[in-house]
Amino acid sequence: MLKRSKKAIPVVLAGILSLSILLSGCGNANNKGGSSSTPEATNTTEQTTSSPEKLENVDLTWYFNGTPQADVASVEKAINEYLKDKLNVNIHLKATDWGNFDQKMQVLNASGENYDLAFTANWANNYYQNVNKGAFLPLDDLIAKYAPDIMQVMPAGGWEAAKVNGKIYAVPNYQIWAKTDVLWPMKEMADKYGLDAANVKGWEDLTPFLEKVKAGEPNLIPIESNKTGQFGNVITHYRFDEFAGRNVPGVVKYDDASLKVLNQFESPEYKSFVALMKEWNDKGFFRKDAATLADSTPDRKAAKLAVIVGGTVKPGGDTEMKALTGKDTLMLGTSESVLTTSGIIATMTAISKTSKNPERAMMLLNLLYKDTTLYNLIAHGIEGKHYKKIDNQTIEAIKDGGYEPNSDWEFGNQFNGYYRAGQKAGDWEETIKINERAVNSVLLGFSFDPTPVKTEVAQIATVTAQYVPLLETGAVDPEKFLPEFISKLKKAGSDKVIQEEQKQIDAWKASK
């Protein structure tokens, strides 16, 4: 078992994250580490310490983003054997390709089909929209009864970020929360074509490099692009706090003390960005089918991309990217590190309203925050079959082993995980320090409740689904299509949404 220090490390993030945390999650469970904003623990005989013989065997189905793994069955078997004497559950891991995950979850939620756990975020399986639709259970009582270890580890700011209208509907996964926009150039190409990494401050600085790649590497795609859109990958570079969710009109400059809400799609920044995308598309930097491509993960794995985009700067991030692509990559930050509510809710786990066993689902989440063996089974698979140990803290994936999700950040407390080959001991502690040192957005702690404008938000989603892929892959002329896009957003109710956002922010500011 991976050993972690039991020393409590104080984390102070401008007050809202002022809660001591334990890296191991294995400390004294009597220390709940909470505040008035944290779910209060309750005494119950039905907590996770219940004897397994008193727990009826149940099935738990968990949907999440990721490439389906060939040998998931053996991992499920190992997990279920491990959990038999702890929770007496049979877990079913349902990875769904990145580009199809949203549609899969929309169909699943609309059908009322039973499932238990699901990955949710502001950018995938949209958290706010699903809360509005009633797809997720409120978790406050379940957390208080069945999640003492999560309560012990989770900084108070995590709970605040997850609240919608005062209630918690998903548990934030504990990992890198600070957001730093990032580009991942293939090191071999960067060296070959003289990329001046130190002077890449924004995407526009890549143009000369991408021109060289296009001319000299006919078998490579110069830069990644797909229909999910790219503006979200430069949002921090443009100093926006995307508090309402991806592609929902409404941002605030993270350093604007006036807290004025802007429509990002009407901003000079967005106009400049889509113009750059059009230029790049015309120069052949993207796949020809980028506007309709649901998932570019296969291109990542095949090392067909000279530059990968998305994610955030974090210790060991380049190691994770090498594990995915098989190639050394550079990790180029293009923004400050900023702590926002949207950064915290960028990776969470919800419990479905259709779950037949929500108590057991919460017990499982709680154990993932505490139990390093369970966490590493889900994140990395079986030792000797899917990975080998380099030392007590570091592992290396076995090639073609059949299980390497490479998405550790989806499964609870990432700081319970082994380091990957190439990562350094202490990277988890350094990650927490990055969270601590990050610039705090002026909106940190604010959660938007879209209920009053849920009809408009739904109408806007239809419009953005039509225009964002076209504009953000440069497939259409922004001089014509951007004004058309903005006009349709207004008809769908974007101005009303902006007004409601400003109203809630003003009330939040007045209450501080």
Residues 204 and 309 in one domain: yes
Q: Residue 2: inside a domain, yes or no?
A: no
Instruction: Say whether both 273 and 301 belong to one domain.
Output: no
Count of Cβ atoms closer than 10 Å to residue 112 Cβ:
10
Tokens 């208080």 correspond to 144
In a domain, 383, yes or no: yes
Q: Are residues 67 and 119 in the same domain?
A: yes
- Do 269 and 312 lie in one domain? The reply is no
- Within this chain, do residues 398 and 425 fall inside the same structural domain, yes or no? yes
Asked whether residue 236 is domain-assigned, the answer is: no
Residue 282: domain span: 225-231+241-295+446-512
Are 169 and 194 within one domain? Answer: no
Give residue 484's pLDDT.
99
Mean pLDDT by 10 residues, the chain (512 residues): 33 35 32 46 48 84 96 98 97 94 96 98 92 96 98 89 92 95 98 96 97 98 94 96 94 98 99 98 98 94 97 92 94 95 94 98 97 98 98 95 94 95 92 92 90 95 97 98 99 99 96 82
User: Which residue(s) pair with 62 in the sheet?
Assistant: 93, 117
Residue 1: inside a domain? no
Indicate whether 64 and 129 sit together in one domain.
yes
358 and 398, same domain (yes or no): yes
At 445 the pLDDT is 85
Last residue of a domain, one of 273, 305, 336: 336
Last residue of a domain, one of 284, 311, 336: 336
Residues 6+ positions from 99 with CB-CB distance below 8 Å: 226, 227, 228, 293, 294, 295, 296, 297
Do 200 and 329 lie in a common domain? yes
pLDDT at 191: 98
Task: Render the burial of 438-448: b for 16+ CB within 10 Å, e for the rest.
Answer: bbbbbbbbbbb
CATH of the domain at 168: 3.40.190.10
Asked if 53 and 80 sit in the same domain, the reply is: yes
> From CA 185, how far away is CA 127, in angstroms rounded?
31
- The number of distinct structural domains making up the chain is 3
pTM listed for this prediction = 0.78
- Based on the domain organization, do 172 and 76 belong to the same domain? yes
Please indicate, yes or no, whether residues 274 and 301 belong to a single structural domain of this protein: no
Which of 440, 458, 491 is the endpoint of a domain? 440
